[in-house]
Structure formats: structure tokens, C-alpha cells
A and B are shown apart, each in its own frame.
Chain A
Amino acid sequence: MVDTIPALMTGEDNFEVVRDQIAGLIKANADEQVILAAAEPDPSLWELRVFTERSNAWEQFVNIDVNDAAANFSPIVNVWFDRSQFPGATGNTVDYQRSSSTFNIDIVGFASSADDGGTGQIPGDQEAALVNQRGIRFVRRILMAAENRHLQLDRTVVGNRWIQSITSFQPQLDSNPAQQIVGSRIAFTVEFLEFAPSADLSNLLEEIRIDVHRTEDGEIVLQQQFGESPP
């Protein structure tokens, strides 16, 4: 006979919360940028279309009608969870573990060749790359803005966030698809705590637990418990 977790497991793990928060921040900021760009010649240049955990979000570019005035050519952003690593030296075996998780943020840009209105042309391959890089620029700035230091989540839970790499996928020379699409991936690492479900700890040995807090005036204080079972 084994002990089981007595309570129904509901709610999301923090990696799901962080993933959705990343997407939410990108979307909210992109929408705000479009509003701020109202006086610009083309405010739609600040638009991003944001998805989470989609396997083929860029499919809408595959059969898009480039001559359709209502078609949306804004970069597509797809946020998906890649992996979590749990360093053994941090956290504890009872109630929380520190996670270093990587979220992949795929950015897809589309463009088509067009007449430039003069004696030349707008090359679709170059334009698609520029659209893609515009998306990268916006996403990077949003995620690394000071306001998003802790992704606007509880700073006692979300510790740090960092862009590990930005990689672009160049079209293969011999494929020559009719669509000009360029993709990039931002590998985004976030450190946060994952909490274990509550358990009966009455049989455990005494555990010393120290919590680190920052007071309102910025002072760092340590809080330590003696002789009590963790909540």
C-alpha cells in the first residue's frame, strides 16, 4: 500500500504560466505599439500575431493571396515550451525545485515580390527576411524590457529571464517555393520555482528552511524556521 496525493491536482504548473505570460506580454505590447504608431504612415508594421504551442502557425502564409487587400502579412509569433532543467543544488526534495526552462519563440515573416512603382522591383526574399527581423526586434525588446525583468510575475517565483540565442532559418537554395518565408527562433530561458503538491510531512525529520525577502525599503532579510514542519 502506498501513500497517494490526497488532493485533486488542478491548476497549471509554472512552466505553463510562464509560457502564457511570455505570449501575453508580446501580444499586449505589440497591440500597444500599434496604438502608439497611429500617427505613422503604416501602423500595421508594429503588429505581431501571437500563438502558443502551435505546430503550424505559419500555415496561413502558405496559401495567402498576395493581392488580397484584407490579407494580414504581419509576422507570426509562436511561443512553445521546449524543456526544463532542475539543478540539484537548488530547491529541495520536498516542496519546490528551481527550474531553468527554455521556451522557443518562433517568428515567421512573409513577403512577396512586387513592383516598386518605378523602374525596379521589391525582392520578395529580401523583404521576407526584413519582415522576419522586424519581428525579432520587437520580441527581443519586449522580453528584455526592464518592466519585464520578472515577466511581471511574482518575483519570488520567477527569478531571471535571458535570451540564449537567436537563430534564423535561411531558405534552401534548391527548394524555390513560390512563397517567400523566413523563420527565426529565439531561445528564451526563464528561471522560476516549480512547487510540489502538498504532502503529509509529519514523518519527516526536522527541516531547516530559510527564505530570503526584500523589504519595502530594499533591505535584504533572512527568515528562518526552527522545529516546525513546512506548511
Chain B
Amino acid sequence: MNLRVVAEADLAFILEDGVYGFGWPINVVNPDGASQGLTGYSADIEQLIDDDTGTAVTGRLATAAIRIKTLTIGLPIAIADATKKPWLITFDDINGTEYTFKVQDSAPDRALGIVVVTLELWKS
């Protein structure tokens, strides 16, 4: 079997295993308001890497990684146009507190079928 196809299939275990893996419930809302609940990988940490110095600096970094094949409402991308709604991502932290973020940056890997989105704070 083609290894790339195998790698994509493995995303079911890497990203979407919410029982024995690190998969986490994520809700995605597209600019048209369509909502989809799925399992993916979420991160919300308090550390950035300064591009100039390579050192860690304080700053909240929230991201999500989603299997593209699972998405039925479209591919999350950054919407800069203020006349349009953005893509929104919602997930809980480990203590059950819900956070809603706006997609600030999207990095789809169409070869392996995974999209990593960088998130910014969203005022609900």
C-alpha cells in the first residue's frame, strides 16, 4: 500500500483517538455559520519562540490540528476581510473551560491530509 495513504490513514489514531490517544473534542464553525464537531489535536500554551533570537518569550499560542478528510464544512482558513465572518474553533482546556478562537493562520498539508491552524482570541 502506498505509504502516504497509510500515513493519512494513521491520522485516525494520531489525531482522532480520543480514548487512548491525545485526540480532543473540537468544534469548527465556518463563515456561513455551519458547525461541525470532530476530534482533533488542540494546544493552548503560554510560550512563543522569538523569531529573531530563537528564545522563548511569553505569549499565548493556541493551535489545532485537524484531519482534512474529516472536515465536511470546508477547509479552515484565515479571513482578513472585515466584511466577512471568520472561521471559529472551540475547545475546552483540560479543566473543562471552553474557549472560542478565531483562525488567524492556516497551514494545510495536502500531501498528508492534515491542517494546522493558529488561533487568536475571539470575543464571544
Asked if B60 contacts A67 (CB within 8 A), the reply is no
- Among B59, B62, B84, B118, the one with the most A-chain Cβ atoms within 10 Å of its Cβ is B59
Interface size class of B (residues with CB under 8 A): 20 to 34
With a CB–CB cut-off of 8 A, which chain B residues contact A175?
A: 48-51, 59
Interface size class of A (residues with CB under 8 A): 20 to 34
Considering the chains assembled together, what is the distance between the CA atoms of A125 and B79 in angstroms? 12
Flag whether A176 is at the interface (Cβ < 8 A). yes
With a CB–CB cut-off of 8 A, which chain B residues contact A177?
A: 48, 59-61, 120
Dominant secondary structure of chain A at its interface with chain B? loop
Interface residues of B in 34-68 (CB under 8 A from A): 44, 46, 48-52, 58-62
Flag whether A218 is at the interface (Cβ < 8 A). no
- Among A114, A123, A174, A177, the one with the most B-chain Cβ atoms within 10 Å of its Cβ is A177
With a CB–CB cut-off of 8 A, which chain A residues contact B13?
A: none
Given A177-B48, A178-B121, A179-B120, also A120-B59 (CB < 8 A) = no
Asked if A178 contacts B61 (CB within 8 A), the reply is yes
Contact pick for A123, options B46, B48, B62, B82, CB 8 Å: B82
A-B contacts counted at CB < 8 A amount to 85
Q: Mark B112-124, 1 if CB is under 8 A from A, else 0.
A: 0000001111111
Contact pick for B83, options A59, A67, A119, A126, CB 8 Å: A119
Spot the interface stretch: B4-12, B15-23, B69-77, B99-107: B99-107
Interface residues of A in 157-205 (CB under 8 A from B): 172, 174-180
> How near does chain A come to B57, taking the closest CB pair, in angstroms?
8
With a CB–CB cut-off of 8 A, which chain A residues contact B85?
A: 115, 119-121
Closest to B81 in A: A120
Given A116-B82, A119-B83, A172-B51, also A180-B58 (CB < 8 A) = no
Flag whether A24 is at the interface (Cβ < 8 A). no
Asked if B101 contacts A178 (CB within 8 A), the reply is yes
Closest to A112 in B: B121
- Among B62, B79, B82, B105, the one with the most A-chain Cβ atoms within 10 Å of its Cβ is B82
Contact pick for A120, options B82, B105, B122, CB 8 Å: B82
With a CB–CB cut-off of 8 A, which chain B residues contact A122?
A: 82
Q: Enumerate chain A interface residues (CB-CB to B < 8 A).
A: 59, 62-63, 66-67, 112-116, 119-126, 172, 174-180
Q: Enumerate chain B interface residues (CB-CB to A < 8 A).
A: 44, 46, 48-52, 58-62, 79-86, 101-102, 104-105, 118-124
